[in-house]
Structure formats: structure tokens, C-alpha cells
Amino acid sequence: MPALRLIDTHCHLNFSSYDEDREAVLRRARAAGVDRIIIPAVDLASAQQALALAARYAGLYVAVGVHPNSCGDFSPRMLHELRRLSRQEHVIAIGEIGLDYYRDRCPAAKQRRALELQLGLAAELQLPVILHNREAADDLIAILVAWAPSVSPVMTARLGVLHSFSASAEVAQRALDLGFYLGFTGPITYKNSDELRAIAAGAPLDRVLIETDGPFLAPQPTRGKRNEPSFARYVNERLAALKGLPVDDMARRTTLNAERLFALP
């Protein structure tokens, strides 16, 4: 048995870049101690794909949602379908949702409306959210500030995570003050990421999650390759060094954090 037990809380394992060797990817993940993986949807089709994988392979869980870059045609029908999908076995969150002002694939106003509707769905279903933010932190935080008081007391300790955190220390603190977790990915290992490492070092130990965001953002030792869940160990090692903890203790703490936030068995 591997010495570590890790949870990759964000990997797009349903993407076509894994089609040729997905089972080998899962075997390598297990060998590296990654025994659970959360697959976030980016639209309705990817949600169905993720659910099919979770039904086939043990240890996979799903978040259903429409990514800001996919929300151009967001409608009440889509919200209804997300509500239906969210009641399926293996669904543990609403996501990946949020705002992306970098890609500009969907007008900002439409992004904000889709986010607000999906946050409402999360509150209705008492599911945490997985949030995407790219160059939209001020608007995202403003929406979260307005939304957080509307959730039930059951949800206040498990609102969600700012996934692959890449914003400022001020944004990190505002998110933490609201009750959100911060997810860290490969960039925490990059040579030019001192500010991000400082944010991770200062974040409370009980609010930190490990992600790969595979197939994107491979950590420094594997940079340039397709990212995959087995590489989560590199993020764990860097977090452990920043916190001054043994790697097995860091793995244990982040695993407990993920289990708590997503109510994982």
C-alpha cells in the first residue's frame, strides 16, 4: 500500500486527452496514494461523461455545473437539467462555475447571471461549489458576499473552494473570511510563484485542498507533460515544505479537509 492517501479535488478525467490510457492513469493514481478524484463538469455533456466514469470506476466523484466559458446559451432548461443531474449518485458539488474575464468567450453579464443561478441551485441542494476565477476576482467576491448569507446553517462550514487559486493575498483573505477553501495546483511549484506560495503558507491548514486540474498545469517536475492525478504528490510535497510538516501529515490534513468540504465517505 502507498504511504500517502491523497484526494485530487479537481481533475478533468473525462477530457479526451485521457481517452487512450485512462485506466493506466487511474492505476498510477492509486499507486501514488490518490484514492479519490473529483471530476468537475464544464457543461451538461461533460457532466454526463463524468457521471459515466464515476459509475464505472471506484473512487470517482462528480461536480455538475456550467463553466463561465460555456455559459453563452445558459437557460432555465439547463438549470433544470443541472438540478436533475445533481441528484445522481456520486455528485458531491456544483461546479465548475465562476467567472472568466480572460478568455472572453461569454459576455460578463451572462457569466454573472449563470453563476448567480447556479449558486442558488447549490444553496437549494445544500451542495458546496467549485469556483473558477480568472481576472474576475472583484466581481466574483462581490457575488459571493451577497450569496453566502442566503445559505442554510448546514452549509456555512462547507460553502466551497476557489479552485486553482491564482489571485491576490487580499482576495484569498476575503474568500477565507467568507468561509471558503483554497485549492492549490501545479503553479505552486513553479519558480516564479513566490506570491502564490506565500498565500499558501499563510492559509489555515484546515482550509487548503490539493488539486491537479489535470490535464492542465502540470507541476514543475513534470512541466510540459499532460497533468494527471498521480502528480498531486508534488503539490502535497510543496505545501508540506511551506507549512513545515512531514509530507504524510500534509496529505492526512488535506484529505480530511476534502472529506469535510465535500462530505466524502
Tell me which residue of 86, 8, 9, 95 sits closest to 51, measured CA to CA. 86
Q: Is residue 120 part of a domain?
A: yes
Q: Is residue 103 part of a domain?
A: yes
Query: Residues 6 or more apart from 196 whose CB is under 8 A from it?
Result: 165, 166, 184, 187, 188
**Is a pLDDT exceeding 90 seen at residue 4?**
no
Q: Which residue has the cell 473552494?
A: 161
Strands 34-40 and 208-210: unpaired
CATH of the domain at 143: 3.20.20.140
Domain enclosing residue 234, as ranges: 6-262
Q: Is residue 47 part of a domain?
A: yes
Q: Residues 51-69: pLDDT tens digits?
A: 999 999 999 999 999 999 9
Q: Residues 138-149: pLDDT tens digits?
A: 999 999 999 999
Q: How many domains does the chain have?
A: 1
For residue 118, name the pLDDT band (cuts at 50, 70, 90). very high
Arithmetic mean of pLDDT over the chain: 97
Q: Averaged over 190-203, what is the pLDDT?
A: 98
Q: Is residue 1 part of a domain?
A: no
Res 265: pLDDT = 85
3-state percent helix, strand, coil for the chain, nearest multiple of 5: 50, 15, 35
CA angle 260, 263, 265 (to 5 degrees): 105
**Is a pLDDT exceeding 80 seen at residue 33?**
yes
For residue 1, name the pLDDT band (cuts at 50, 70, 90). very low
- The pTM assigned to this predicted structure is 0.97
Q: Residues 133-180: pLDDT tens digits?
A: 999 999 999 999 999 999 999 999 999 999 999 999 999 999 999 999
Q: Is residue 38 part of a domain?
A: yes
Q: Is residue 105 part of a domain?
A: yes
Q: Is residue 40 part of a domain?
A: yes
